[in-house]
Amino acid sequence: MKTPNRLRQSGQSLLAAAFGASATLAFSPFSYWPLMLVALWGLFTLLQNASPKRSAWLGFCWGLGQFTTGVSWVYVSIDHFGGMPAIAGLSLMGLLIAYLSLYPALFGALVNKLPSRQPGIKWLILAPALWLVIDWLRGWVFTGFPWLWPGYSQIDSPLAGIAPVLGVQGITLVLAILAGLLALITPRWGQWQGQARYGAVAIGLGLIAVSYGLGTIQWVTKTDQQQQISLIQGNVPQALKWRPDQRWPTLMKYLDLTRQHWDSDVIIWPEAAVPALERELPRFFSQLDQAAKHNQTTVITGALDQNEQGAYFNNVLALGAGTPEYRYPAPTQYSKHHLLPFGEFVPFEALLRPLAPLFNLPMSSFSPGEPVQPALPANGWDYITALCYEIAFPAQIRDNLNADSDAIITLSNDAWFGRSIGPWQHLEIARMRALEFGLPVIRATNNGVTALMDEHGQIQTTLPQFETQVLTTQVTRTRGETPYRQWGNAPLWLWILISGCIGFIAWRRDPSRQAKISTNL
């Protein structure tokens, strides 16, 4: 029979997992954004006065709750296209969740090794800075998985005004500070009592007020210059896409939908819309280029290719108005730089490829394009391209922006993830990029969610999922630059540096450390 202490510890572990799971409800499509603050507050409160080992376990449980629910959409792809028994697919999914949960576990392990004499410094300065560093690690290790950064959940909250100044991670920082404030004043658990509670409430309300005020500033303004765009949502089932007998029916489907919209300035097909390598269809692309030029329209489409050395690339081609005459390979194209692990390249492939068909899918060894590439010409405008997963990497997009950038386009094919929550989280990430950079974001997909977002990250128009339709709308050019577009993450790194200095000073002055030194002397 478990002792009361063991029962209490088990209850805390379950509570941590429940708080982590509640974080998923803060993201799209649920969008109960206050729950992200609740989830972080719950974690920070449980970590109060816990040992580093116990904190690591509670952080791991919190991560299990968040990632089991939040990235469940990955299993749809494994189950439908992985070619493995269910038990193997579930095991692989479990490994992914366990890996991602190591990051909040690392936070838990380190946060209670921070100087604790002054809880305000620990939970309002050091802990938020530590969370940022660990979040960035998750977005970088093994090429990165920055999905479900807390800041994304606040795209419709009063904290959204921080994004044009400090980016999505600036919102995460403020969330962590607010969670630390709440943890410090929580009855029975918190370390601030009496008058300190009123000060904490004042600080929290002040942060929210500043965020709301930033949201009222017009960092960029609309001009009177517009383009008419048509986004072709082909709704081609993933199971049929690469069948040889479906190649020409698919191409004819896109051509038929395109012919009805030659009056648009730009027509955009989704990622890998052409179910063949570019080198296999030079005549098709040449004729499409000529037809687009004749109608004074630019056609942008996703297309895969393989070069003479056998390397595969996931490309986006621009054809028609404003582009040179087509000759293979396309003279104006973008090659995806940030590849999706396991989908577009296999880490440790010599070890993993023999294990299961999932690791040996056709064209699962793509080569990356350059990190900085020219914008795609779009009938007189310059479109910065982010292919599918790349929209989750703001630093890469910022590196490609320049004074002539007019809009961001992101082509995707979320048919891999069925009717899961994944495509909606993907759309939310795209909305955040629009808000950060003050540019319209155009999202063209195979089966949804196809949408146009304005410079404030608001959805202007969209198509229903799983329907063959064309979204024709107007995109407006903007003038000006957001602070985040100019500075990037530099202010956040400065915050982390200052926090580190404060932490070092606090550590030097820690009485327990001084006592140990005296004892040793």
Looking at the annotation, which residues are catalytic? 271, 336, 388
Nearest by Cα to 41 from 190, 209, 201, 206: 190
Burial class (CB in 10 A: 0-12, 13-18, 19+), 514: exposed
Give the closest residue to 401 by CA, choosing from 373, 442, 431. 373
52-70 and 4-24 helices cross at what angle (nearest 10)? 40
Cβ distance 282 to 290 under 8 Å?
no
Q: How far apart are CA 512 and CA 248, in angstroms?
A: 74
Q: What are the CA-CA distances from residue 508 to residues 114, 119, 511 (Å)? A: 12, 16, 9
CB 359 within 8 A of CB 353: yes
Q: Work out the number of other CB atoms within 10 angstroms of the CB of residue 296.
A: 13
Neighbour tally for 14: CB within 10 Å: 12
Distance of CA 157 to the CA centre of its chain: 18
CA distances from 428 to 26, 233, 304 (A): 11, 19, 26
Report the 3 state secondary structure along 106-121.
HHHHHHCCCCCCCHHH
